[in-house]
Amino acid sequence: MSTAVEYRGVSLGYQGKPALTDVDVTLHPGQRLALVGPNGAGKSTLIKSMLGLVDVLHGDAAVFGSDPKSARGRAGYVPQTDSLDADFPISVRRVVMMGRYRRIGWWRPARAEDRRAVADALDRVGLTDKAGHRFGTLSGGQQQRVLLARAIAAEPRLLLLDEPFNGVDVLSQEAIVRVLRELSAEGTALVISTHDLTMAGELADLVCLVNGRQWAAGPPDETLTAGPLRKAYGERAVL
Ligand SMILES: Nc1ncnc2c1ncn2[C@@H]1O[C@H](COP(=O)(O)OP(=O)(O)OP(=O)(O)O)[C@@H](O)[C@H]1O
């Protein structure tokens, strides 16, 4: 079977200094991988490495069988909403249209198929009625759904989400979980970083438990257990 992500003995870092080591994980199309670990554990580092944005110091890192940078066209990325300038005066529809730029070139006018992809993506996240609203006027949860719609509009085969449930209301959380399940049923591979162990257990087929190094990788019932959690979180792990 083809793999979306295959990491073997991978160390990642900045300016030659390791930030996350010993990553061994295989993700197939249609699978959902949760990255779990405390603050500063290396979750964002691992996600960014799958876009070719972080140096691989050791080991073999492949995305769709190639080095991550050259596979970037097939990967979508949903950043944390607090990394954005919410005052930027732009409509929800235009934010989602940005997901099409790689296909159409940002300087060219959108085609009918691009407008359709944007409308479909907004419909999937349940925000059709907000299309003409200014992005910055939406709630945190709605903004997160717009960013998810932007990524969906690009039709990625691998979707990377950095803490998509942070500061998100229950309605938006349910909408995001529903869409993620649909996407994986359609064959999209998903990588989701989260602090929320319950969410990871419910949503993921695979969990990668990290804190400076990978402590465990496998199904939730093997990884979200006392031994591996204590290793990743220390004795303060609440079980
Ligand atoms: N651009 C960078 N340059 C140097 N070090 C970095 C850089 N980005 C992250 N780091 C370091 O890498 C380590 C892992 O950080 P990372 O942001 O990947 O963790 P995280 O698990 O995503 O944390 P959080 O849950 O707080 O977002 C930390 O020690 C951090 O200081």
Per-residue pLDDT of the chain (239 residues; tens, 9 = 90+): 589 999 999 999 999 999 999 999 999 999 999 999 998 999 999 999 999 999 999 999 999 999 999 988 899 999 887 666 666 789 999 999 999 887 776 667 778 889 999 999 999 999 999 999 999 999 999 999 999 999 999 999 999 999 999 889 999 999 999 999 999 999 999 999 998 899 999 999 999 999 999 999 999 999 999 998 998 888 666 55
Q: Of the candidates 169, 171, 167, 191, which has an alpha carbon nearest to the alpha carbon of residue 180?
A: 191
Q: Is 209 a pocket residue for ligand 1 (Cβ < 6 Å)?
A: no
Q: How far is the CA of 113 from the centre of ligand 1 (A)?
A: 38
Q: How far is the CA of 207 from the centre of ligand 1 (A)?
A: 19
Report the pLDDT value the prediction gives residue 50, as an integer from 0 to 100. 97
Q: How far is the CA of 213 from the centre of ligand 1 (A)?
A: 12
CA distance 179 to 192: 13
Q: Which amino acid is at 135?
A: F
Report the pLDDT value the prediction gives residue 154, as an integer from 0 to 100. 94
Report the pLDDT value the prediction gives residue 238, as an integer from 0 to 100. 56
Report the pLDDT value the prediction gives residue 85, as an integer from 0 to 100. 66
Q: Of the candidates 45, 36, 46, which has an alpha carbon nearest to the alpha carbon of residue 233?
A: 36
Given the CA of residue 48, which atom of ligand 1 is nearest to it?
A: 18
Residue whose pair of structure tokens reads 């900045």 in the numeric block: 14
Q: How far is the CA of 10 from the centre of ligand 1 (A)?
A: 16
Given the CA of residue 37, which atom of ligand 1 is nearest to it?
A: 21
Q: Is 213 a pocket residue for ligand 1 (Cβ < 6 Å)?
A: no
Report the pLDDT value the prediction gives residue 239, as an integer from 0 to 100. 53
Q: Which long-range contacts (CB under 8 A, 24 or more apart) does 172-177 make?
A: 172/139, 172/140, 172/141, 172/142, 172/144, 172/145, 173/141, 175/125, 175/126, 175/145, 176/125, 176/144, 176/145, 176/148, 177/203
Widest CA span in the chain: 56
Q: How far is the CA of 45 from the centre of ligand 1 (A)?
A: 6
Q: Helix, strand or coil for residue 101?
A: helix
Given the CA of residue 193, which atom of ligand 1 is nearest to it?
A: 22
Residue with the nearest Cα to atom 16 of ligand 1? 42
Report the pLDDT value the prediction gives residue 133, as an integer from 0 to 100. 95
Specify the DSSP class assigned to residue 83: G
Q: Is 45 a pocket residue for ligand 1 (Cβ < 6 Å)?
A: yes
Q: How far is the CA of 93 from the centre of ligand 1 (A)?
A: 32
Residue with the nearest Cα to atom 25 of ligand 1? 39
Q: Which residues pair with 17 in a beta bridge?
A: 14
Q: Helix, strand or coil for residue 183?
A: helix
Residue with the nearest Cα to atom 8 of ligand 1? 45
CA distance 45 to 202: 24
Question: CB of 200 within 8 A of CB of 163?
Answer: no
CA distance 45 to 53: 9
Q: Is 14 a pocket residue for ligand 1 (Cβ < 6 Å)?
A: yes
CA distance 136 to 93: 12
Given the CA of residue 46, which atom of ligand 1 is nearest to it?
A: 18
